[in-house]
Structure 1
């Protein structure tokens, strides 16, 4: 299947696109979204990759975050990936739970059956999708940043920590900071990677920092009224790991904000400005 355009809309003098293609890493058809700022009509622009959270698709960020206004001003393209492989052949949580399987790929490369044939979201978002969009759209080669929310915040942190030369900066909203230590993460990593916790460390931001990973500048916002804060997100573990590793990190708690896209919309402009400065955007 060639790259297929599903929708195209004018947006802040740029263009918002939704596209579909046959993805080899996850062995299924994948859908993603791209915002091209007006500056892309004059030449290649930097790109910010966005990874969304549990139950989301590429559309949640595009329709709810209000990011296009700030990206158009900064001259940055936005690429929003889906959160898991899709299709009738892709296995789901056998109990139909929302925190694993479809919509919950956790941005890892699964090694265990039956997940390993499709759930290779790390390779998809770090390698296959960037190669595709860089070939198809006016994006500056080598000028990329990554960001995400919740499960996607975990994905952005892991991708950035594992690839410090690929991303100029990393940011996250309410990330799952230590998935090896929380119910969501233990369930997902145990299924995708097997029961041995030592195999999970390469997919855990806190563990990566403890194991010596280097990082580009990092910005994290966490809502103080987030219902998942203590049991699932554990930002204090990320803060301690960053401090001990000497990583340049700005970790902010925003009082009164919850886990929703209202929270993301309130601070997405600051995140795009953070990335724009490090990407050398217009």
Structure 2
């Protein structure tokens, strides 16, 4: 782990760092906030959305005061592998900055876009070796990262105690963002897409280990109807008899202003389940 810089914040320490990932075959960047004290601390992994880096949540969410008060650390990785040798696309919703937290199987993406393996294997091993973190973790995220947080938590329940999301892509198999990305990364066989769809995973009972899933969705979100479709999560939860709390927040959009307003409640939600 290479530490690029550190900052004192909310009585704790924020580190910007990087490390080599075997899964992606690249250097991966991240930020890690450790609250005051000696640790080891339970921690949250935050997954950001399209076009974001490890810095968006770190500089905009305002989560660290709540994390310091509740004694939890927060890890925020980059959203994809990067570099001149890494495949890319001119569009904002595919390629670098748009890893979708899945393991690609198709060329040219499969060589580096192994984000599920990176998050659930390489990232966890690296941060727990380098920082005062306990092996007690939860996940949350936004938009593309909300999709990632929900699906990875459900697919790897032995790794994560809880999951929550802001404005998640609820069902990537049924929206333009997901169809484009899954078609490129996974190929045209749509049956293989189902394992990466939060609504379908809930419907299949894959969230049974979680006592609740917290979702916040702004009613003024410009992507609400065509891309996010949170009602599909509610429908899936009803079919599976799964507790899911979907809070529709009046007038809020898709931005980090929305996240900053409610992030402390998400940190508290997870802290209670990591205690």
Range of TM-score over shorter length? over 0.9
Q: CA deviation at 1:99?
A: 0.7
Instruction: Give deviations 1:68-125, integer Å, cap 9, x for gaps.
Output: 01000000000001000000000001xx010110100000000001100100001111
The 3-state SS of whatever aligns with 1:275 is helix
The 3-state SS of whatever aligns with 2:168 is coil
Contact 2:19–2:126 (Cα < 8 Å) also in 1: no
With normalisation by structure 1, the TM-score equals: 0.95
What 5-or-longer segments of structure 1 have no aligned partner?
none
Residue matched to 2:52: 56
Residue matched to 1:12: 10
C-alpha distance in 2, partners of 1:117/1:136?
27
Q: Is the aligned partner of 1:69 residue 2:65?
A: yes
Could you tell me which of 21, 28, 31 is aligned with 2:29? 31
Residue matched to 1:116: 110
Residue matched to 2:272: 277
Contact 2:204–2:240 (Cα < 8 Å) also in 1: no
Instruction: Give deviations 1:22-69, integer Å, cap 9, x for gaps.
Output: 111001111100000003x2x311000000000000100000000001
With normalisation by structure 2, the TM-score equals: 0.98
Could you tell me which of 235, 245, 262 is aligned with 1:267? 262
C-alpha distance in 1, partners of 2:167/2:274?
23
Could you tell me which of 66, 73, 97 is aligned with 2:91? 97
Could you tell me which of 134, 142, 145 is aligned with 1:149? 142
C-alpha distance in 2, partners of 1:69/1:239?
31
The 3-state SS of whatever aligns with 1:47 is strand
Contact 2:14–2:33 (Cα < 8 Å) also in 1: yes
Alignment of 1:176-195 (within 5 A): 176-195=169-188
Residue matched to 1:242: 237
Contact 2:151–2:196 (Cα < 8 Å) also in 1: yes
Q: Is the aligned partner of 1:130 residue 2:128?
A: no
Q: CA deviation at 1:168?
A: 1.0
- Which structure 1 residue ranges, 4+ long, deviate > 6 Å from structure 2? none
Q: CA deviation at 1:244?
A: 1.2
Instruction: Give deviations 1:182-211, integer Å, cap 9, x for gaps.
Output: 000000000000001100000111111223
RMSD: 0.8
Residue matched to 1:220: 215
C-alpha distance in 1, partners of 2:63/2:119?
20
Q: CA deviation at 1:279?
A: 0.6
Contact 2:66–2:267 (Cα < 8 Å) also in 1: yes
Contact 2:60–2:260 (Cα < 8 Å) also in 1: yes
Contact 2:33–2:75 (Cα < 8 Å) also in 1: yes
Q: CA deviation at 1:212?
A: 3.0
C-alpha distance in 1, partners of 2:61/2:205?
33
C-alpha distance in 1, partners of 2:189/2:203?
18
